[in-house]
Amino acid sequence: MEIQELERLSSQVRRDIIRMVSAVQSGHPGGSLGCTDFFVALYSNIMKHDPSKFTMKGEGDDLFFLSNGHISPVWYSTLARSGYFPVSELDTFRKIGTRLQGHPSVDKGLPGIRMASGSLGQGLSVGVGAAQAKKLNQDKGIIYTLHGDGELQEGQIWEAAMYAAHQKVDNIIATVDYNGRQIDGDCFKFRKFTSQVGSIRMESIGNGWS
Ligand SMILES: [Mg+2]
C-alpha cells in the first residue's frame, strides 16, 4: 500500500476510534489513537495474513497478539477495515452481547483475535510460545506483539523476555508503545519499580534482543 493510502486509512481508523469510544462514553482512546499508524502499517504492509481465511491456528501466517488489550478500539477498527468482519459491527463496541468487548476476548469468535487480553503482562509469554510452536512446526510465520510502556512494570514481561533470549527465539518482534504515560500518570514517576522503563534496552537482559 502506498503512503497516501496508508495515511488515508489511518485517518479513517482514528475516526472510527473516536466514534466508538464517544458512542458509549467508555474505552481508552489515548493509546488507541497513538498506535493507529503502527496497526495500519502492520496489517496493510508488514504482516503476511489472509482475513478471508482466518483460523485460530494461523498456520503459515504471521500472527499478532495485543498485550495491552485496553487499546482494543484501534485493533477492532483495523481488523474491520482489513476485512476480518463488517465495519458496521464497530457500532456494537462495548455493548451488551457484542463480540467487540472492551478488552478483547475469544469466547465469541471474533475473527482476527487469538488471545484474550486486558490483564497486562501476558502477551509476550503467549507470543513467545506461539513463536516456538511455529519453529517446531517448520512454519516460517513471524509473531508480532504490542505492549504499553507502563505494562513493562509487569514482571511476567521480563520473565518472557529472558526466556526467549535463553531459548534463542528469533521469530518474534515485540513493540512497545513508548509514550511515557500510564493510567496513573507519568511512567517515569514509577521508574523505581522497573528501572528498564526509563531506557528500554531489552538486549541488556542477555543480548538476546536487538
Ligand atoms: Mg503508555
pLDDT digits (tens, 9 = 90+) for 172-189: 999 999 888 888 888 777
Measure 53 CA to ligand 1 centroid, in angstroms. Answer: 33
Measure 149 CA to ligand 1 centroid, in angstroms. Answer: 5
Measure 120 CA to ligand 1 centroid, in angstroms. Answer: 12
Q: How many whole angstroms separate alpha carbon 41 and alpha carbon 43? A: 6
Q: Residue 198: what pLDDT? A: 45
Say if residues 107 and 97 touch (Cβ distance below 8 Å).
no
- Grid cell at residue 196: 528498564
This model's pTM is above 0.75: yes
Measure 93 CA to ligand 1 centroid, in angstroms. Answer: 22
Q: Residue 210: what pLDDT? A: 73
Measure 31 CA to ligand 1 centroid, in angstroms. Answer: 7
Measure 115 CA to ligand 1 centroid, in angstroms. Answer: 21
Measure 67 CA to ligand 1 centroid, in angstroms. Answer: 12
* Residues of the chain below pLDDT 50: 195, 197-198
Say if residues 67 and 35 touch (Cβ distance below 8 Å).
no
Measure 147 CA to ligand 1 centroid, in angstroms. Answer: 8
Measure 7 CA to ligand 1 centroid, in angstroms. Answer: 23
Q: Residue 178: what pLDDT? A: 87
Measure 164 CA to ligand 1 centroid, in angstroms. Answer: 23
Q: Are strands 185-186 and 181-182 parallel, antiparallel or unpaired?
A: antiparallel
Measure 152 CA to ligand 1 centroid, in angstroms. Answer: 9
Domain ranges of the chain: 3-205
Contacts of residue 4, Cβ cutoff 8 Å, sequence gap at least 6: none
Superfamily of domain 3-205: Thiamin diphosphate (ThDP)-binding fold, Pyr/PP domains (3.40.50.970)
